[in-house]
Amino acid sequence: MEVRSLVVTRFSFVLAAVFCAASVLAQAPSPAESADNARLLFRQGEFQAAAIAFQKLIDRRPAPEFYAGLVQSLLKQDNVDDAELVSSRAMTALPKSALIHAMRGDVLFRRGLIGDAESEYRAALEWDEKCARAWLGMGRIFAAISRRARAREAFSKARELDPEDGDAFYYWAVGLEYPKNVAGLEAHLAGYRSDPERDRHEREYLALQKAVAGRKVWVPGHEIVASEIKLEQMLLGPGRVLGVGLKVRFNNHVSARLLLDTGASGITIGHKLAEKMKATKLSDFSLEGAGDSGPVAGYEAWVDKISIGDFEFHDCVIHVSGRNQVGLQDGIIGTDIFEKYLITLDLIRQKLRLAPLPDTTSTAAEEDKPAPETASFSQVFSFGHLLLMPTRVGSTASGLFVLDTGSLTNAISPALARQVSNVHDSNVQVNGMSGAVKNVYSADATVLQFSRFRQPNQDIVTFDVRSINKDLGTEVSGFIGFASLKNLKVVIDYRDGLVDFDDKK
């Protein structure tokens, strides 16, 4: 009861401060006009002012659409705690509203409770099968569990049911083929605003789509059914292993060893290496990740040919950092390069094995039933290139952890660390795509359990990951790094969102 009172006080204080700041806004003459004003503020990206307007509407009449508007305004500001509070109140006040259940699903999705969010979206559709926000939520669920066709169908349904919903508009437009995706994104940017960071991401993505202009990329030079590639140790110094890497050759004349990173997408290199291989710039691009230096200016580039082991790819798009190096190495390569194969990352024997994916001639995958060959695999949630693994920490807490061979150590968020252990200062240096992390702490010995494995740690680093969470739209509670994975075989099926682990030597 005491904790709840503190939360309520905090929310009231925030709203009171916002009301004072926005007192210059004209008082709308009628509830209808107030609703139009609130929606306009939201559409213009004025989320704080929109929250004020929706709260005033709720004070007059607690309608589902006003609660939903308030929660969405808070989530756009990444104010998850207050969105949680409002959604709980709305569920109590209007338990039979489809929109309220969908809104509650949005909050649970942001908190990383994917299964609970799905339950709320399905409950919403039981109350009203034409609830657009519920279809949008189900689209995000399907995307997270790698049911891409079903995700596109759900996004299209949400767009059809509510053409004015900017989120539904965006997800629908992204899934279109070129040039329809470009037209859709241009219309979305013209009609809807978000915070500067999200708007920048959308502009950069649009610029890349225009530059590629529908051309196929990462085209295999020849068909390979299966292959095995030797991995090389990447060292921080004498006897200090950073991870494993692959030898990559660009345009037949420039070679580099790149860190193999399950937490990365495609290939990212420094600008000098890109200049040496004569990569062609396509569009500006900001590289982001862990670190406190903010986005790193860079660009997307075109490379005619990339060779890795037996593989040869043509017409490739890579990321180029404005810095000479990417972290502590010349570059990184994501395992998603090989997403059309069943990937076995044998870190014990330092081999990368690529084999055909399980047969999908049946409809088992679309019915959410694993193929027999993947019966031992665990479901992971896919957010772009990131694979989020449900992970238990200690005996009482859990969360979604990034499967990240590019991270030397394991890490957990400060909020989760305080639930399971004591947190104290640390002199461990953590570097990410956005530079060094300034405030790094350490938690006392704890146990990570993912899939069927338990990994005790003497200690584990902890640092703020809120910027990553905001960007993904869900809660990342930590990272399963090279320290835990180096004595395992990691098997990844990107197509179906499945991962398996094996510690047999």
Q: How confident is the model at residue 53 (pLDDT cuts 50, 70, 90)?
A: very high
The region of weakest confidence among 200-204, 304-308, 378-382, 409-413 is 409-413
Q: 235 near 242, Cβ under 8 Å?
A: yes
φ, ψ dihedrals at 254, nearest 5°:
-125, 130
pLDDT of residue 365: 46
Beta strands 378-379 and 498-502: pairing type? antiparallel
13 or 237, which is more confident: 237
Q: Tell me, what's the pLDDT at 445?
A: 66
pLDDT of residue 453: 84
Cα distance between residue 121 and residue 384, in whole Å: 22
Q: Where in the chain is the domain with CATH 1.25.40?
A: 1-94
Pick the closest to residue 261 from 353, 331, 340 (CA basis).
Answer: 331
pLDDT tens per residue across span 76-129: 999 999 999 999 999 999 999 999 999 999 999 999 999 999 999 999 999 999
pLDDT at 75 (0 to 100): 97
At residue 73, the pLDDT reads 98
Q: What is the mean pLDDT of residues 139-145?
A: 98
Give the pLDDT of residue 294: 60
pLDDT of residue 174: 97
* DSSP E strand stretches across 7-110: none
Which pLDDT value is given to residue 373? 75
For the domain with range 372-502, which CATH number is right: 3.30.565.10, 3.40.50.300, 3.40.640.10, 2.40.70.10? 2.40.70.10
Residues ≥6 apart with Cβ < 8 Å to 98: 124, 125, 127, 128, 131, 134
Q: Is the Cβ–Cβ distance between 494 and 386 less than 8 Å?
A: no
Lowest-confidence range among 12-16, 46-50, 315-319? Answer: 12-16
Give the chain's end-to-end CA distance (angstroms, integer): 52
The CATH fold assigned to 1-94 is: 1.25.40
Rounded to 5 degrees, φ, ψ at 100 are -65, -40
416 has pLDDT over 90: no
Q: Is the pLDDT of residue 149 over 90?
A: yes
Give the lowest-confidence range in 48-57, 238-247, 302-311, 331-340.
238-247
Confidence of residue 190 (pLDDT cuts 50, 70, 90): very high
Please give the residue that has the higher pLDDT: either 346 or 412: 346
Region 222-238: mean pLDDT is 90
Provide mean pLDDT across the span 470-492.
92
Asked if pLDDT for residue 64 goes beyond 50, the answer is yes
Q: Which pLDDT score is estimated for 7?
A: 33
What is the reported pLDDT for 202? 96
Q: Which CATH number fits domain 219-355: 3.40.50.880, 3.40.50.300, 3.30.70.1350, 2.40.70.10?
A: 2.40.70.10
pLDDT band at 431 (very low <50, low <70, confident <90, very high): low
Tell me, what's the pLDDT at 397?
87
Residues of the chain with CATH 2.40.70.10: 219-355, 372-502
